[in-house]
Amino acid sequence: MHPLDHQSMEHAGRADTDWRRARRAAAWTEYDAAAMPTGKEEVWRYVELDIDLGDYVTGAEAPPMGDDGFAGLLPDAELLAVVNGVATGTATDHLMPLRQALDERADAASVAAGAALPAATDIFAAAHDAFGGDGAFVHVTKGVVAPTVHIDVQTTAEGTASFPAVWINAEEGAEVSVVVHLRSSDGLGAMTIPQFGAYVGPGANVRLTLVQRNAYGVTSFGHAGVTLDRDASIRLFEVGLGGGHSRLHLDTRLEGNGSSANVVGAYFGEDTQTLDYRYFMHHVGTNTRSDMFLKGAVEDEADSVFTGLIRIEETGQKTEAFQTNRNLLLSDGATAQSVPNLEILANDVRCGHGSTVGPLDSEQRYYLMSRGLDRPRADRVQVRGFFEEVLSKLPEPALADPIRGWFNAKYESAQLQGRVR
């Protein structure tokens, strides 16, 4: 095991290619100069971190987790596991360990890397590029419709920081659905800093589903960058269920004319969880379209944070862009912050945003009870209905039933224990 120092950085990069070595060195410079963020910074507003990266180590070995049944939901998918930041599995035409891709498909991998958020984003992004180096690479060549890809990202080593990466390069006219399942061992205390980078080529179509179910002792600071070329499209769906503090910083750049992005999220926090979403939609090309739609619930003393920004450049004429965030407060001690923003520099656009934060609807409760349901059952129906709108948008419909069950189980358990209103 090694602390997060210069020696660990050099050890992580011992098999680097030239361009990856230069990227790592630049990230070390950023990391070495960076400080832990505070709530005074706009992009970190509403949260205060009580952790220090210096408390974690790298290099610990721990066995992988067993099969939890998730893979069985996608029986025909190509599968690769990434355990504590290290890929295990056999490469296919479309999916391989990232270190192998950096050697065998360096040009294609570097294109995907260019879509990932830069090390200067924050100390966690810098740490990923300085100490990471492995993960999964999804590569779909021109005009190919690939089978579904399933990447099982596991955190199993106590007291460690791991840096799994998922890079995607969908070339012109390609299509692929990528499912990333992030999970950890029960009772684990660790940090994971996943990085997602996706380049979607001209006319290509990517569907990316992130399902995060880490243990509550795991802290996660994820970064996702997406670059869309001409007429390209992405559907990104994120499910947030686990983690003590789980954050996803998403930056989507619609650079190509006619490109589109549909971002959907569903999250449910309990206990003292913090579920933290910072979503940025950057319209550069003309005639582009984006839609952000997130729904979440919090109970006990959990917190949720959503800050979204749609920025439309002067070149982004004829843009259509919308963002919506809806939140349920199920306990008196729970909080939800919802801050959608628009920044419009073009004059021929259609945009809108909206957010709500509040308890279950008393009128709906009365209506359901008038039809014979008692109050607990009526409230469960409301919670189920609240999430159904987003679950119907899952890129992989086979995942809907278990995700629905995980959401319902959180609320029903709180009801039985008297932890909700």
Q: Name the token pair of 207.
A: 């569907």
pLDDT-based confidence at residue 61 (cuts at 50, 70, 90)? confident
Task: Give a yes or no: residue 85 inside a domain.
Answer: yes
Task: Give a yes or no: residue 216 inside a domain.
Answer: yes
Task: Give a yes or no: residue 421 inside a domain.
Answer: no
Which residue in this structure is represented by tokens 């189980």? Answer: 409
> What tens digit of pLDDT does each residue of 227-263 get?
999 999 999 999 999 999 999 999 999 999 999 999 9
Task: Give a yes or no: residue 391 inside a domain.
Answer: yes
- Domain carrying residue 87: 2-416
Task: Give a yes or no: residue 355 inside a domain.
Answer: yes
Under 8 Å between Cβ of 168 and 234: no
> 52: which DSSP letter?
-
Task: Give a yes or no: residue 359 inside a domain.
Answer: yes
Task: Give a yes or no: residue 300 inside a domain.
Answer: yes
> What tens digit of pLDDT does each residue of 186-215 get?
999 999 999 999 999 999 999 999 999 999
List beta partners, residue 260: 233, 289
Q: How many domains does the chain have?
A: 1
pLDDT value at 1 more than 80: no
List, as one string, the DSSP characters of 162-206: E--EEEEEE-TT-EEEEEEEEEE-TT--EEE--EEEEEE-TT-EE
